[in-house]
Amino acid sequence: MVYADFTIDETTFPPARVANIGTILNTILPLLILGAALLFLVMFLLAGFQWLTAGGSMDNVKKAQKTMSFAVLGLVVVVVSYTIVKLIGFILQITLPF
């Protein structure tokens, strides 16, 4: 009878690196944070452009201020959630690479 020796080497089989939820989060979270920062930058610049081109129209100025407020609020939510994840990792003594 022949028994097969089946071992998965992470260096030759890349999907094996995704073994648990922790490695998935360690891969995805930094990308999401970077995406949120880029989205904040785009939204804030767009709102600034709207404000500059408002031409004295208070409706357009209010719309630009609302866009800026939502952009800042979104960035605050991302920073607070990142801090909460780091705090939970510290409490549970989980090593996070980011």
User: Rounded distance, CA 55 to CA 33, Å?
Assistant: 35
pLDDT of amino acid 97 = 62
User: Rounded distance, CA 72 to CA 94, Å?
Assistant: 30
pLDDT of amino acid 6 = 62
Mean pLDDT, the chain, whole residue set: 84
* CB-count exposure of residue 49 (10 Å: 0-12, 13-18, 19+): exposed
pLDDT string in tens for the chain (98-residue length): 556 666 666 666 666 666 677 777 777 888 899 999 999 999 999 999 999 999 889 999 999 999 999 999 999 999 999 899 889 888 988 776 65
pLDDT of amino acid 67 = 96
pLDDT of amino acid 29 = 82
Q: Where are the beta strands (DSSP E) in 1-98?
A: none
**pLDDT tens across 42-54, in order?**
999 999 999 999 9
